[in-house]
Structure 1
């Protein structure tokens, strides 16, 4: 927008990865934090809206760590004017610290600690989505499961309810070797919240025959005989801990056929047991200990 001389260029993003308004696989900022940023916005001297000083700093730290790969660092990961591809970025970071009344961040660890303290650091699933195309994020933040494989949560989207696909999905999962431990609808009033917390807000698909919608139902499963993943896999599957979970494509194809659609992304699933437990923590926290016990290593009796 506004690329003409004498105007201020703008980037426009949406919280839930509407095609063309997101950065790759995920929303540009964590959706919940983006909505907070909007709710705390302030009006400038010309009547324009902008983030409050604290949010401006946090969103910029997030941008520099997860969208701009840091390059040159000093001793003990000290930030330098040449850390990013444009020295103006370092200067802007220092300016925003001063404006927010925060001690100037001096290292990458300082930036990370600030984001974690203010709950701006993304969930592991979002990190792993970004890691697919960002080498820095992949090498520094990517999260691999420390649990035994076997637990999986399948997130069923609104279109699947519309076409009564939950039953067929459960039948396919059972036939593939999964034991269904819990299958419940997500309350309507929680669906937008859940969408903002999973997959970095990425629930849009420009290739679907119709919008599949936000999460509407979830199925917790356990595979008592998980299959090992091949040693060499594409980056997008690097965090999958059970080869049987690759049936997602088969499930999507079959449910699209049942709905008489050319393409319908009716469901999503966790990639590994750790991610599945993250889902459980948000969807059915009262069952967390029960499901965690299924995938605890004998050498790690508790956490």
Structure 2
């Protein structure tokens, strides 16, 4: 059989002049006939950090989907940027509105809205939580990241934050620490596998409600992710749980600039909902040889 793979760039920073802003994701609509092995084959062939596979729940459903995410290496329970891309793809075909995605991490509702020719999507993450990092684990992480302990910002305790996946969250004191980040891929990959982390979210407080970030993503088979919606949601929960922002508020996370793929994620933090809202746009990428894949 042949499967059509739609390609989108999620969370592009529209203020950027870059030729490749945002984080590319694959989207497969009507995936109900695909096996798990076929989904993994598509994700591996495309090579993006994630591809989302949507199967309608109920005959002809246009607003509720069983949604699974695969990186080139394995299935991932939840992925923010592929969720945004998939919701925009659905809205372009069926009109804006609420889309419910039943993921391995739970039900995720995505609100899509039309703003002229642009469609924005806002996902509400699963309930967030965080926990401290054991000192020996933090030492191992800093060693793999090649970061000295004094580079950490004491205002932002190291935590493992959750919003569908687990992410190590580390705040650094200076912006140049992000620019110079060059980690040991093999060591960090092994540590993340042992600890069950999906990404390592290294961030810098750049201004009022403004943060810059980089996300190491060895479990996905890529060195770095240019825009990570799930990590942004977990980060929003981290800020709320530790009282580091007044709620309700919206913070901006700028990511991917060091990769040449500048991205902007708007993170809505509310005290009345256990999840976190993450908003962005997604733009359709031009066709490639991978848009049609022959499957066994």
Shorter-chain TM-score bucket reads 0.3 to 0.5
Structure with greater helix share of residues: 1
Output the TM-score relative to the length of structure 2.
0.33
- Please identify the structure whose Cα radius of gyration is greater: 1
Output the TM-score relative to the length of structure 1.
0.32
Higher relative contact order (CA 8 A, sep 6+): 2
